[in-house]
Amino acid sequence: MKSTVLIRSWQLATTVAVCALLSVTSLTVRAQVRPGIGVGVGRGSASAEVIDVNYADPKEYEIAGLTVSGNKYLDPNSLLSLTGLKVGDKIRIPGENVNSAIRKLMQSGLLEDVELLATKVEGDQIHLNVEIKEQPRLYKVDFLGIRKGEQDALKDKVKLNLGRLVSSTIIKNTQLSVKKFFVEKGFLNTKVQITTVSTDSARNYAAMRVLIEKGPKVKIHNIEIQGREEIEESKIRLKMKGTKQARFGRLFTPSKFIPKKFEEDKGKVIEYYNKEGYRDAIVTFDSVYAFDGKSVNIVMNIDEGNKYYIRDITWTGNYLYTAEELTQVLGLKKGDIYSKEEIERRKGGIPGADLSSVYMDRGYLYYNAEDVIKSVEGDSVDLEFRIFEGKQATINKIVLNGNTKTSDHVVLREIRTLPGQKFSKTDIIRTQRELATLGYFDPEKIGIVPVPQPDGTVDIEYTVEEKPSDQIELSGGWGGFVGFVGTLGLVFNNFSAKNITNLSAWKPLPAGDGQKLALRFQANGRQFQTYSLTFTEPWLGGKKPNAFSIGVSHTIFRQFDQFSIYRTGNSLRNATAFGAYNNTSISLSLGRRLRFPDDFFTLSNSLTYQRYGLDRLNLFYIRDAETGQEFNNGTSNSFLFNTTLARNSIDNPQFPRSGSSFSLSSSLTPPYSLFRNKPLSRDLNERYKWVEYHKWMFDASWFATVTGKLVMNARAHMGFLGRYSPKADYSPFERFVLGGSGLAGTGQFALAQDIIGLRGYDDRSVYTGRYNVMPDANDRQRGGVVYNKFVMELRYPVSLNPSATIFVLSFLEAGNNWGDFKYYNPFDLKRSAGIGARIFMPAFGLIGIDYGYGFDKNPGAQKGPGGQFHFTIGQQIR
């Protein structure tokens, strides 16, 4: 049976227009004239009844039946509900109801084509069928004409879920997304052609093929800046960081043209003008036109306007502070350049020294300051600051979220904002810094949100994100005299001693109480072994930040005749040692946080006992000039009292951007020589039985952000080893050795010397005795009694991810090491420069590599040190 096609989807937009154009008043569709369009009701005979479609005289019908055909996956009832038609409705044919039904179905985006058919007519009763063709479903997407890496990047950028309908909208959006992707990379002339190919007609699946012609990258041939008079052109170009003119030698700042970056750079130029006082500066027009097929020219015109200065500052609404006090805090005065950016910074961008801190540190959380330009005359601006002080807010409660491993009390004891206190902005900032320096949380994700309450109080919600803080050192290295050395070190930075007996807390060790447990073992068999254990409780008693530490260590080194072992073929296990050294140490330390001059200061004191044992081994190459006796036997004892005054305000231990740290320490043994009436013993083993010295160390480090993410670090290090009496010798223990990476090393010098790095020079090589006289190898191994070192670094972060903090650096440094105070010259320094990188991973600590070039020869050396690489692990070069 044939059906009358009442309307198709493609006819919607044209039917009315065509009829109007041809002045058609009626349109009759008959089966006899146009088979397939007219419909016969009955047996399909030529005399069958047909539907007359007359636009001048529509006929009303009642829908007696409504069906859907052609659907494979779509629900027919849902489709019929979209048409807005239902059985029993009265409709006019032709009429808006029919057009609306088709329109609604096509707008759903589910269908490729729709026909509305009259399948049966009985008087004024009509049966309708909606014949549909479903949109194909996406089976796969192929990106053609580009590299594999670009294909992968596009798949991440252009999200096309397989199985979705392939509509014209999807195709168009995909085309635009692909073009945008390449335009952002400088390919402005990218062409994208998309076709769909049926892959499974039975299931209506299709593949989308995206053919891409990138064309060449479009670079910037020339940038012309017009209208500029007051600001130097070089400064304007410097602000346009993403829009650079092509020139020879440009490597790190590409000159490709990216429209989005150009728009951003125009905004940065105007921001710079505003900062310099040109508040009316605008870009009046800009033009980008093709220079050739591969480059464009840019013309940008700037209307600078006047440069404005502050003439007068007035205050309203202030009751707590006078206008003079607020003006002093603001720090702006008559004649200063009017800069909106600078005003905003002084209102609330200088922690502890801005207007907001003055009010908020006294609890006025709801304080607000609005700066208004009262009048402008010529190049002068009168400012009025309108203050809303509000009420003081008292802290109601502290809410802590995110500490899944660390106990609440460990976090809460570092928080400076306590319930019952007045709200304080400075305390908020300080708390953020203290939580970051704990090392247990990601410093970039510490969130602090004040939550005002209806009663005028405020809750403060702290959100932290745990990061791995324990460290493992598993490495091997070449230790010079001792050969290959294996190292196993474990540092648990968030240990919990009280849960040792709780087996369920061992994951793998009990954690969460903020204590530190460090174990380390090094060995290469019989020749060298060292063991150490340190435990630290940062809050002894749990009420005050009194840090208690206890540490024990033991080292033994045996010296074998390596050449004899090699000649005889004996193993080290069966060889006989002809010399040995051992060191046993135990120390107790107690430190506390000070309140004066401020609470960034700490004072720590410690007592240490060390026992050095020598067995036929001249560790320091000391020989008595008269008797010829070597210092190679016996036991040396050291009772040591150390006190250290330190201040640390660094904002982030992994990658500091601001703050400083310094420490001044003195290590004192009893002054045995002052109590001794008799002269020094000629027996060296007796002379050094009780180690005697006083040692002073000073370390300072300062960080500041230069611009953007670039950070400068300046450091100074000094050390002095003294004696109590001029009749006594300088201690052979605890001297300084300088040069190289600064790794402490292993073997006979463990726990007996301070190892200081100086990049660009060999390990232990920097030493000065008499001026321009080459020291012998024994002098260098023995070490100096005074050293200076100064460092300047520029650091730039590559990644601040807590799982791997990475930054690169360049450095200048200089230092020297002297064997006697009479040769000390603080201006005689060995200089070097170079570049390097640091990777901080919580599991392994700090890993660094540097290339340093030394400029100055050591005394008596035939040539300068030149360039060399240095590798460090677990520590900073200092």
- For 176-222, the pLDDT digits (tens) are 999 989 988 889 889 999 988 887 766 778 888 999 998 888 999 99
Neighbours of 692 (CB within 10 A): 24
Q: Which sign does the torsion angle of CA 589, 590, 595, 597 carry? A: negative
End-to-end CA distance of the chain: 95
pLDDT at 31 over 50: no
**Residue 629 is which amino acid?**
Q
**Biggest alpha carbon distance in the chain?**
146
Distance CA 333, CA 313 (A): 8
Q: Contact, 366 vs 393, CB < 8 A?
A: yes
Q: 145-154, 323-332, 481-490, 859-868: which range is least confident on average? A: 481-490
Cis ω for the linkage preceding 597 (within 30 of 0) = yes
Tell me the CATH class for 309-388: alpha beta
Paired tokens of 602: 């700490």
Task: Give me the pLDDT at residue 570, please.
Answer: 59
Indicate the pLDDT class of residue 749, thresholds 50, 70 and 90: very low
pLDDT at 27 over 50: no
Beta-carbon contacts of 774 under 8 Å, excluding residues fewer than 6 positions away, are 858, 859, 860, 861
pLDDT at 713 over 70: yes
pLDDT tens string 838-865: 998 766 677 889 999 999 988 766 667 8
Task: Give me the pLDDT at residue 435, please.
Answer: 93
Domains 309-388 and 618-873 share a fold: no
Q: What's the average model confidence in pLDDT over 413-440?
A: 92
Q: Which CATH superfamily is domain 4-134 in?
A: membrane protein fhac (3.10.20.310)
Q: What's the average model confidence in pLDDT over 655-674?
A: 94
Highest mean pLDDT among 90-104, 739-753, 799-813, 838-852: 799-813
Q: 5-14, 59-68, 79-88: which range is least confident on average? A: 5-14
Paired tokens of 542: 């749990």
Cis ω for the linkage preceding 94 (within 30 of 0) = yes
Distance CA 296, CA 557 (A): 71
Q: What's the average model confidence in pLDDT over 400-408?
A: 93
Paired tokens of 649: 């305000």
- Per the listing, tokens 């208004």 go with 372
Phi first, then psi: give them for residue 581, nearest 5 degrees.
-140, 140
Task: Give me the pLDDT at residue 44, please.
Answer: 35
3-state secondary structure of 525: coil
Task: Give me the pLDDT at residue 736, please.
Answer: 93
Share of the chain above pLDDT 70, in %: 86
Q: Where are the domains of the chain?
A: 4-134, 137-213, 219-303, 309-388, 395-463, 618-873
**Mean pLDDT for the chain overall:** 84
Q: What's the average model confidence in pLDDT over 614-639?
A: 84
Element of type H or E holding 778: helix 777-782
pLDDT at 483 over 90: no
Task: Give me the pLDDT at residue 567, please.
Answer: 55
3-state secondary structure of 259: helix
Long-range contact pairs involving 371-376 (C-beta distance under 8 Å, separation at least 24) = 371/343, 371/347, 374/314, 376/308
Which has the closest alpha carbon to 645: 596, 691, 575, 714?
596
- If one compares 132 and 56, the residue with the highest pLDDT of the two is 132
Distance CA 286, CA 288 (A): 7
pLDDT at 512 over 80: yes
Paired tokens of 365: 């959380």
Q: What's the average model confidence in pLDDT over 413-438?
A: 92
Task: Give me the pLDDT at residue 89, please.
Answer: 86
pLDDT tens string 687-699: 889 999 999 999 9
**Angle at alpha carbon of residue 654, lines to 650 and 656, rounded to 5°:** 35
Q: What's the average model confidence in pLDDT over 817-829?
A: 92
Indicate the pLDDT class of residue 569, thresholds 50, 70 and 90: low
Beta-carbon contacts of 148 under 8 Å, excluding residues fewer than 6 positions away, are none
Distance CA 837, CA 846 (A): 10
pLDDT tens string 524-566: 777 788 899 999 999 998 888 999 999 999 998 887 766 555 5
pLDDT at 412 over 90: yes
- Per the listing, tokens 């032709």 go with 94
Buried/exposed 111-136: b ≥16 CB within 10 Å, e otherwise = bbebbbbbbbbeeeebbbbbbbebbb
Indicate the pLDDT class of residue 627, thresholds 50, 70 and 90: confident
In CATH terms, the fold of domain 137-213 is Ubiquitin-like (UB roll) (3.10.20)
Q: What's the average model confidence in pLDDT over 43-70?
A: 68
DSSP code of residue 653: S
Q: Contact, 542 vs 409, CB < 8 A?
A: yes
pLDDT at 43 over 50: no
Indicate the pLDDT class of residue 742, thresholds 50, 70 and 90: confident
Task: Give me the pLDDT at residue 360, please.
Answer: 93
Q: What's the average model confidence in pLDDT over 755-770?
A: 88
3-state secondary structure of 33: coil
Task: Give me the pLDDT at residue 396, please.
Answer: 95
Task: Give me the pLDDT at residue 11, please.
Answer: 53
Indicate the pLDDT class of residue 41, thresholds 50, 70 and 90: very low
Distance CA 157, CA 508 (A): 41
Q: What's the average model confidence in pLDDT over 230-256?
A: 83
Q: What's the average model confidence in pLDDT over 794-806?
A: 88
Share of the chain above pLDDT 90, in %: 45
pLDDT at 252 over 70: no
Q: What's the average model confidence in pLDDT over 586-596?
A: 94
* CA distances from residue 810 to 1, 795, 853 in whole angstroms, order as listed: 87, 7, 12
pLDDT at 800 over 90: no
3-state secondary structure of 779: helix
Distance CA 787, CA 742 (A): 14
Distance CA 83, CA 111 (A): 13
Q: Where are the alpha helices (DSSP H) in 205-258?
A: 233-239
Task: Give me the pLDDT at residue 35, please.
Answer: 30
**CATH of 618-873 given 3.40.50.10680, 2.40.160.50, 3.40.50.300, 3.90.930.60:** 2.40.160.50
Is CATH 3.10.20.310 what the domain over 395-463 is classified as, yes or no? yes
Q: What's the average model confidence in pLDDT over 320-343?
A: 93
Beta-carbon contacts of 344 under 8 Å, excluding residues fewer than 6 positions away, are none
pLDDT at 309 over 80: yes
pLDDT at 626 over 90: no
Distance CA 444, CA 801 (A): 8
- If one compares 33 and 501, the residue with the highest pLDDT of the two is 501
- If one compares 668 and 61, the residue with the highest pLDDT of the two is 668
- If one compares 296 and 167, the residue with the highest pLDDT of the two is 296
Q: Which sign does the torsion angle of CA 35, 41, 47, 49 carry? A: negative
In CATH terms, the fold of domain 219-303 is Ubiquitin-like (UB roll) (3.10.20)
